């Protein structure tokens, strides 16, 4: 229990010897991220609650494990991409309380590098980091930005919190899945930066949907209007790569019945995390509060649909 040495050192992570990786959570983001690691020659053992998710990775060359512990049994690095804080808590610390005795951390050799890329509360990330540190395990919070398109293309932005040493070990691995790797600060800093970004994204998506709707209701073609705003001062990421109006752009959720992508309920989770952080630290976020209110109402019926489906708040015909 936490006494063996994982064998992962800075030297190893910087030269050609590739550590074995356990990858936990193979959903819309985790699956393409894991596939990119396989393509880069890493040996992967994967685990997900969904057999459909693991079958996809098995086909791509990963071995499928029966539990997080089984996945990590021969790994020097563990990466997780889970929905929310409660899943991260359950995998690493177990379900029997905060002491972590029945979680994965207690099974890992000393020196194992754990990278959690889920978006969770900074406080939860710090809790897992502290438990890991007591066992001699390096933990990094490393949430991502860039959506499923970025996960497939290997061009994600990683926003990392943790020690310099652990960051240096993780960097070559993260560089396989991402293009921009930021060290935001100590444990939890990655999550704080991530929720600031996603609060802004929620505001931008809601605002972009609102602007397109205003144009369409006043006789404009959504593509013509989007092209105009893309070359004008309203330009933003949603217009560039993730237009919320159907058929304006190819290969985005809005042109595919709002399937896949980033579920509205996950955006709502992130907005709630931002609102909680703002409350705890006495910071005003009126625009974030409005976006949270809009997504809260939207997810009642559309929680599983991509977050660009907020367009339907103005025009329910986009869902048909
Ligand atoms: P998802 O729901 O598609 O995937 C989550 C996966 O985790 C599922 O396959 C589920 O079966 C699995 N899972 C749940 N509990 C588990 C457990 N205990 N053990 C093993 N597997 C378990 O979610 P996603 O869209 O891939 O998002 C994952 C994380 O990344 C979230 O925190 C999300 O906020 C964040 N994120 C998503 C996007 C996006 O565009 N989808 C972008 C940036 C960040």
Q: What is the pLDDT of residue 1?
A: 34
DSSP label of 5: B
Cα distances (angstroms) measured from residue 254 to each of 70, 123, 305: 38, 34, 10
Tell whether ligand 1 has an atom less than 6 A from the beta carbon of residue 144: yes
Q: Is the pTM of this model over 0.85?
A: yes
Q: What distance in angstroms lies between residue 283's CA and the mean position of ligand 1's atoms? A: 29
Once rounded to an integer, what is the mean pLDDT over residues 218-225? 98
What is the share, in percent, of the chain residues with pLDDT greater than 90?
92
CA distance 185 to 208: 32
**Which residue, judged by its Cα, is nearest atom 7 of ligand 1?**
25
Query: Which of 23, 24, 29, 91 best tests ligand 1's pocket when mutated (most atoms within 8 Å of CB)?
Result: 29
3-state class (DSSP) for residue 110: strand
| pLDDT tens for each residue of 192-212 | 999 999 999 999 999 999 999
CA distance 175 to 75: 19
Once rounded to an integer, what is the mean pLDDT over residues 246-264? 97
Whether 73 and 98 have beta carbons less than 8 Å apart is answered as no
Tell whether ligand 1 has an atom less than 6 A from the beta carbon of residue 241: no
Of the candidates 162, 311, 175, which has an alpha carbon nearest to the alpha carbon of residue 243? Answer: 311
| pLDDT tens for each residue of 148-175 | 999 999 999 999 999 999 999 999 999 9
**Which residue, judged by its Cα, is nearest atom 20 of ligand 1?**
48
Q: What is the pLDDT of residue 12?
A: 44
Q: What atom of ligand 1 comes closest to residue 119's alpha carbon?
A: 32
Which domains are seen in the chain, by residue range?
Answer: 10-187 (3.40.50.720), 193-319 (1.10.1040.10)
CA distance 320 to 318: 6
| pLDDT tens for each residue of 99-132 | 566 899 999 999 999 999 999 999 999 999 999 9
Q: What is the pLDDT of residue 5?
A: 55
| pLDDT tens for each residue of 43-73 | 999 999 999 999 999 999 999 999 999 999 9
Q: What distance in angstroms lies between residue 30's CA and the mean position of ligand 1's atoms? A: 7
Place of tokens 């997780």: 80
Report phi then psi at 11, rounded to 5: -60, -50
Q: What distance in angstroms lies between residue 217's CA and the mean position of ligand 1's atoms? A: 36
Once rounded to an integer, what is the mean pLDDT over residues 254-277? 97
| pLDDT tens for each residue of 5-37 | 555 644 444 446 899 999 999 999 999 999 999
Question: Counting Cβ atoms within 10 Å, is residue 300 exposed (0-12), middle (13-18) or buried (19+)?
Answer: exposed
Q: What is the pLDDT of residue 96?
A: 74
Query: Which of 52, 83, 200 best tests ligand 1's pocket when mutated (most atoms within 8 Å of CB)?
Result: 83
- Residue predicted with more confidence, 95 or 5: 95
**Which residue, judged by its Cα, is nearest atom 1 of ligand 1?**
27
3-state class (DSSP) for residue 22: strand
CA distance 316 to 213: 11
Catalytic residue check, 194? yes
Residue 270 has which token pair?
A: 């992130």
Tell whether ligand 1 has an atom less than 6 A from the beta carbon of residue 50: yes
Q: What distance in angstroms lies between residue 90's CA and the mean position of ligand 1's atoms? A: 14
3-state class (DSSP) for residue 230: helix
Whether 63 and 44 have beta carbons less than 8 Å apart is answered as yes
Degrees to nearest 5, angle at CA 163 with 161 and 165: 130
CA distance 228 to 224: 6
CA distance 127 to 21: 23
Tell whether ligand 1 has an atom less than 6 A from the beta carbon of residue 49: yes
Set 39, 110, 169, 194: catalytic member = 194
Average pLDDT, the chain: 94
Tell whether ligand 1 has an atom less than 6 A from the beta carbon of residue 271: no
């Amino acid at each position: 229990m936490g006494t063996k040495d994982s064998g992962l050192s800075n030297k190893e992570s910087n030269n050609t010897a590739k550590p074995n990786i356990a990858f936990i959570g193979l959903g819309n983001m985790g699956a393409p991220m894991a596939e990119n690691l396989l393509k880069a020659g890493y040996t992967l053992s994967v685990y997900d609650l969904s057999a459909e998710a693991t079958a996809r990775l098995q086909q791509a060359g990963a071995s499928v494990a029966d539990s997080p512990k089984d996945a990590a049994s021969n790994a020097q690095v563990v990466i997780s991409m889970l929905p929310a804080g409660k899943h991260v808590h359950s995998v690493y610390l177990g379900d029997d309380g905060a002491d972590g005795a029945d979680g994965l951390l207690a099974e890992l050799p000393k020196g194992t590098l754990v990278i959690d890329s889920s978006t969770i509360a900074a406080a939860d990330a710090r809790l897992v980091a502290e438990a890991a540190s007591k066992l001699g395990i390096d933990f990094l919070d490393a949430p991502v930005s860039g959506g499923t398109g970025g996960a497939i293309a290997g061009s994600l932005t990683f926003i990392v919190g943790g020690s310099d040493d652990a960051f240096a070990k993780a960097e070559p691995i993260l560089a396989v899945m991402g293009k921009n790797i930021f060290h935001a600060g100590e444990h939890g800093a990655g999550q704080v930066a991530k929720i600031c970004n996603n609060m802004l994204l929620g505001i931008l998506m809601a605002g972009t949907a609102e602007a397109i709707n205003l144009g369409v209701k006043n006789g404009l073609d959504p593509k013509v209007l989007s092209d105009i705003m893309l070359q004008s001062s309203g330009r933003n990421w949603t217009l560039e790569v993730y237009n919320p109006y159907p058929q304006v752009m190819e290969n985005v959720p809005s042109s595919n019945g709002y399937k896949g992508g980033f579920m509205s309920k996950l955006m709502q989770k992130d907005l709630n995390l931002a609102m909680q952080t703002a409350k705890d630290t006495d910071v005003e976020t009126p625009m974030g509060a409005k976006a949270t209110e809009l997504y809260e109402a939207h997810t009642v019926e559309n929680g599983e649909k991509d977050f660009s489906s907020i367009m339907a708040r103005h025009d329910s015909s986009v869902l048909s």
